[in-house]
Amino acid sequence: MTVHTLATPLQYPAPDLNKIKNSRAEISYKIRTLSTLYLPVLVEELKALQNEINTTDKSALDALTLAPIALNHEEIKPLYSAIQKLEKNNTITEQEQKEAMLSYAKDIKLIIDDGRSKMKEHTDTLENSLTNLRKVELSDNQYRIEELKKSIESDSPKLAAERKAIELLETQETALNTAIGTLESSNVFDLLKDVLLSVEKLTETDMATPKIALVKVGISAAGKILGVASDALKYEQLITARKTVQDRLDMRRTNIESYNNDIKTTQERVDQLTEFQTVQPARAVYIQEFDTLAEAMNRFLTITAHEATDDLSLVVKNFVEQSNVFIPFIKSLRQQWSV
């Protein structure tokens, strides 16, 4: 294996921590607002997502915090200097020189391998967290949204029909109230309340013509309501017709309220599911940026990889140079970290 050495230290791909922060906040907000989702299975999916977000955050933060410690190479310099001095030392035997240099080399490689091993642990942990985060199922609810919208569409004509029926009933109620009120306020009411109210009968009284016309409209409305084909009805029939109209109005208004409640509930569900659909894109952004961090960590491991037979000076030079770039890079990300 050849040690990777570069004329200039490698630049590492940097995640956008603002995107991570914003997508995390967006996801957390959506999870909170959707905690009352009408489908418990979707609530459980969001809970699982939040758990994996938390785990990924911890994995990334641990890596950013502990990687600089793991890659600290201050102890390498005196050990490597000792090897260089031994190479020029003529006061000891060649065997003693070789054994001492091998001992120092072993210590140096131990430091490097230990640092890389810890880096790999952090990298693997982060990648495993991201894998688990990807595996959290977020149901595609588009078909549910379409079904709910169809339900609203099917209720809308029913609602319109109820409103139209109410308009007619209210017109009839007004006509009856006016007719009944006109009769009751008449000074000949006692003479009229038990007789058939025809135009001829009303004309025989001193009731003014406009008032007679109002009573006639009420009689016509009552006839339609009671199913009586007659131009003459009794006062009690007007009362019965009004009661019938009011009962029908109550029923229609109850229907209206029921349809409105159904539509409102269904629309709220549409809104919830539509909001749920936006969680997936936010997760994708969050994962993409942490994938970039994992890529940088893997790149460091790749570029500092070596074998036991590789030239020690190249191994040390490469590890120190890359660490001197990678450690500030990681520290900078750690300083930018915000939850």
Identify whether 2 is part of a domain. Answer: no
pLDDT for residue 295 is more than 60: yes
pLDDT band at 10 (very low <50, low <70, confident <90, very high): low
- Residues 122/71, Cβ–Cβ less than 8 Å: no
Q: What CA–CA distance (Å, rounded) separates 171 from 178?
A: 11
**1, pLDDT greater than 60:** no
Predicted local distance difference test score (pLDDT) of residue 122: 97
pLDDT tens-digit series, residues 31-46 = 999 999 999 999 999 9
Together in a domain, 262 and 150: yes
**pLDDT value at residue 86:** 78
Q: Is residue 77 part of a domain?
A: yes
Q: How many domains does the chain have?
A: 2
- Domain boundary pick from 223, 244, 269: 269
**pLDDT value of position 5:** 47
Q: Which residue has the higher pLDDT, 308 or 62?
A: 62
Looking at 269, 292, 317, which one is the last position of a domain? 269
Q: Is residue 303 domain-shared with residue 328, that is, in the same domain?
A: yes
Backbone angles phi and psi of 34, in degrees to 5: -95, 15
Task: Indicate if 264 and 326 belong to the same structural domain.
Answer: no
Choosing from 246, 269, 292, the residue where a domain stops is: 269
> Which has more confidence, 296 or 197?
296
- pLDDT top residue among 317 and 303: 303
Asked if residue 232 and residue 120 are part of one domain, the reply reads no
- Tell me which residue of 120, 136, 1, 117 sits closest to 55, measured CA to CA: 136
Flag whether 275 is in a domain: no
Cα–Cα distance between 138 and 147 in angstroms, integer? 19
Which residue did the predictor score with more confidence, 208 or 136?
136
Position 121 scores a pLDDT of: 97
Q: Is 113 in the same domain as 184?
A: no
Instruction: Tell whether 325 is covered by a domain.
Output: yes
- pTM of structure: 0.80
pLDDT at position 339: 62
What is the C-alpha separation between 305 and 131, in angstroms, rounded? Answer: 24
Give the residue with greater pLDDT, 288 vs 201: 288
Own/partner contacts of 330-336, CB < 8 Å, gap of 24 or more, are 330/63, 330/64, 330/67, 330/68, 331/68, 333/14, 333/15, 333/17, 333/64, 333/293, 334/61, 334/64, 334/65, 334/68, 336/17
| pLDDT, tens digit, 9 for 90 and up, residues 144-186 | 999 999 999 999 999 999 999 999 999 999 999 999 999 999 8
Domain-embedded: residue 11: no
Q: How confident is the model at residue 314 (pLDDT cuts 50, 70, 90)?
A: confident
Same domain, 199 and 119: no
At 224-246, the pLDDT tens digits run 999 988 888 999 999 999 999 99
**Cβ atoms within 10 Å, residue 124:** 14
Which domain, by its residues, includes 90? 17-143+283-336
- Considering the chain, what is the average pLDDT of its residues? 91
* Confidence at 53, pLDDT banded by 50, 70, 90: very high
Question: Does some domain include residue 113?
Answer: yes
82 and 64 both lie in a single domain: yes
pLDDT tens track for 317-333: 888 899 999 999 999 99
What pLDDT sits at residue 206? Answer: 79
